[in-house]
C-alpha cells in the first residue's frame, strides 16, 4: 500500500512562535496501514528554510575542508559545543542550492568552487522539522584556505581546517565528527574518493 496526499488531513494549524525559524502546532489525522484513520493528533513542527551543505575536496592535495564552529544545539556536548562540520548555510529567496554552496564556500572557506556534484537531498529530522537539506561535494584549490572565516554581522566565527582525506575519515569513524550532514557527506565521499580524485585531479 502506498499513501499519498489524499491520505492525511490537517485539521488546524497554530503558530506558536516566530523568529529565526517558525514553530507551528499542527492538528491532523492520517490513514493507517491496517485500514481506517488515526484519531486527531497534535504535532509540533519547526519550519525552517531549506539548507545546503558542501564538502570541499582538493584532489591535488588529496585534502578536505572541515569547518570548526560553535553550535548552540550542542551546549551539552562533551568536551565542548565546537563541532567539526562541512560548509553549510540557508537558502535565500531566489537562490538555487548550487548558488548557496558557492556563496557559503566563499564566506566560510574563502574559495571558489570548481566542479560541483550533488550527493543527496533529504529531510534533516522529519519527526519535528520540515528542513530539507541539499548536500554537495565540490572541488576547489585549498592550498591557501586554512584560517578564520565567517560574517561578523552574523556572529560567525569559523576556523577552517584543511586535512588529509585519511584523517577526516578517521574523525568520522572515531566520533570527532558527530553531526549528521557531515557524516553523510564523509561516508559518501569515502565510497567515491578514488573516482573523484581521478575525475577532478
Our answer to whether residue 104 is catalytic in this structure is: no
Distances (CA, A) of 186 to 86, 106, 193: 9, 21, 10
- SS3 labels along the chain: CCCCHHHEEEEEEEEEEECCCEEEEEEEEEECCCCCECCCEEEEEEECCCEEEEEEEECCCCEEEEEEEECHHHCCCCCCCEEEECEEEECCCCCCHHHHHHHHHHHHHCCCCCCEEEEEEEECCCCCECCEEEEEEEECCCCCCCEEECCHHHCCCEEEEEEEHHHHHHHHHHCCCCCHHHHHHHHHHHHHHHHHHHHHC
Question: Could you say which of 16, 68, 95, 154 is catalytic?
Answer: 154
Distances (CA, A) of 80 to 72, 158, 176: 11, 15, 11
Looking at the annotation, which residues are catalytic? 154
Amino acid at each position: 500500500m502506498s499513501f499519498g496526499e489524499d491520505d492525511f488531513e490537517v485539521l488546524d494549524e497554530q503558530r506558536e512562535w516566530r523568529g529565526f525559524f517558525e514553530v507551528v502546532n499542527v492538528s491532523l489525522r492520517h490513514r493507517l496501514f491496517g485500514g481506517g484513520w488515526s484519531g486527531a493528533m497534535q504535532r509540533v513542527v519547526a519550519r525552517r528554510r531549506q539548507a545546503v551543505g558542501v564538502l570541499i575536496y582538493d584532489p591535488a592535495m588529496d585534502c578536505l575542508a572541515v569547518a570548526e564552529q560553535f553550535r548552540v544545539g550542542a551546549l551539552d556536548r562533551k568536551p565542548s559545543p565546537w563541532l567539526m562540520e562541512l560548509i553549510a548555510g540557508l537558502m535565500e529567496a531566489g537562490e538555487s542550492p548550487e548558488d548557496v554552496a558557492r556563496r557559503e564556500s566563499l564566506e566560510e572557506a574563502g574559495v571558489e568552487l570548481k566542479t560541483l556534484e550533488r550527493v543527496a537531498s533529504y529531510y534533516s529530522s522529519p519527526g519535528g522539522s520540515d528542513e530539507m537539506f541539499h548536500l554537495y561535494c565540490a572541488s576547489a584549490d585549498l592550498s591557501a584556505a586554512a584560517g578564520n572565516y565567517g560574517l561578523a554581522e552574523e556572529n560567525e566565527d569559523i576556523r577552517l581546517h584543511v586535512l588529509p582525506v585519511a584523517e577526516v575519515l578517521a574523525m568520522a569513524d572515531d566520533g570527532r565528527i558527530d553531526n549528521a550532514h557531515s557524516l553523510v557527506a564523509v561516508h559518501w565521499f569515502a565510497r567515491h574518493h578514488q573516482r573523484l580524485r581521478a575525475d577532478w585531479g
